């Protein structure tokens, strides 16, 4: 849900005679209650008013912030299990392990995450089709950053 939509919902709710409303859309759920100024999100982090702190901005240090936070109904994310640098290929001049549209068998490598000079190879945990590659080669990823959008096959 866009923040704009959420704010509009809050405004309408405020004016209404209702004491509680549960709003569901696209797998997300928002509960609003009167007598409380807070939103209890279940699908997404609570929207926060911006802190009036000079120099502060909410972007994570990694480049992964532009990765999408949602995937299609029939797909799922493969997420980074550690903090590191994302590499699509075993060596700079080697071809990538996987391309968009590839089918990958369980146990085959998907990418490398480099952490503290160690190259950690990450393998598919199940047979899958690569729907999208979400991080650019050589970018930093956080713990939990979506790396691939995949479909089980």
* Interface region with another protein, contact rule CB under 8 A, candidates 7-15, 16-24, 77-85, 92-100: 77-85
The nearer residue to another protein, 113 or 131, going by C-beta atoms, is 113
**Per CB under 8 A, which of residues 99..118 are in contact with another protein?**
115-116
Segment interacting with another protein (CB under 8 A) among 2-10, 22-30, 43-51, 94-102? 43-51
CA distance linking residue 90 with residue 83, whole number of Å: 18
Residue closer to another protein by CB (options 68, 107) is 68
Which residue, 3 or 53, has its beta carbon nearer to another protein?
53
- Binding another protein (rule: CB under 8 A), the pick from 26, 57, 91, 101 is 57
CB 141, min distance to another protein, A:
9
Residue of 30, 84, 146, 147 interacting with another protein (CB under 8 A):
84
97 close to 105: Cβ distance less than 8 angstroms: no
Among 21, 33, 71, 85, binds another protein (CB under 8 A): 85
3-state helix/strand/coil string of the chain:
CCHHHHHHHHHHHHHCCCCEEEEEECCEEEEEECCCCCEEECCCCCCCCCCCCCCCCCCCCCHHHHCCCCCCCCCEEEECCCCEEEECCCCCCCCCCCCCCCEECCCCEEEEEEECCEEEEEECCCCEEEEEECCCCCCEECCCCEEEEEEEC
Residues at the contact surface with another protein, assessed by CB under 8 A: 36-38, 45-46, 48, 51, 53-62, 82-85, 115-116, 140, 142-145
């Amino acid at each position: 849900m866009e923040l704009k939509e959420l704010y509009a919902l809050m405004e309408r709710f405020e004016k209404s005679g209702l004491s509680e409303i549960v709003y569901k859309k696209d797998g997300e759920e928002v509960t609003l209650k009167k007598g409380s100024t807070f939103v209890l999100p279940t699908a997404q982090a609570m929207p926060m008013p911006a802190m009036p702190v000079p120099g502060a901005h909410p972007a994570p240090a990694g480049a992964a912030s532009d990765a999408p936070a949602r995937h299609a109904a029939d797909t799922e994310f493969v997420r980074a299990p550690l903090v590191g640098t994302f590499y699509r290929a075993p060596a700079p001049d080697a071809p990538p392990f996987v391309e968009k549209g590839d089918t990958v068998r369980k146990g085959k490598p998907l990418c490398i995450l480099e952490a503290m000079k160690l190259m950690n190879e990450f393998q598919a945990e199940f047979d899958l089709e690569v729907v999208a590659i979400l991080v650019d080669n050589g970018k930093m990823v956080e713990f939990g950053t979506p790396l691939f959008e995949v479909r089980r096959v």
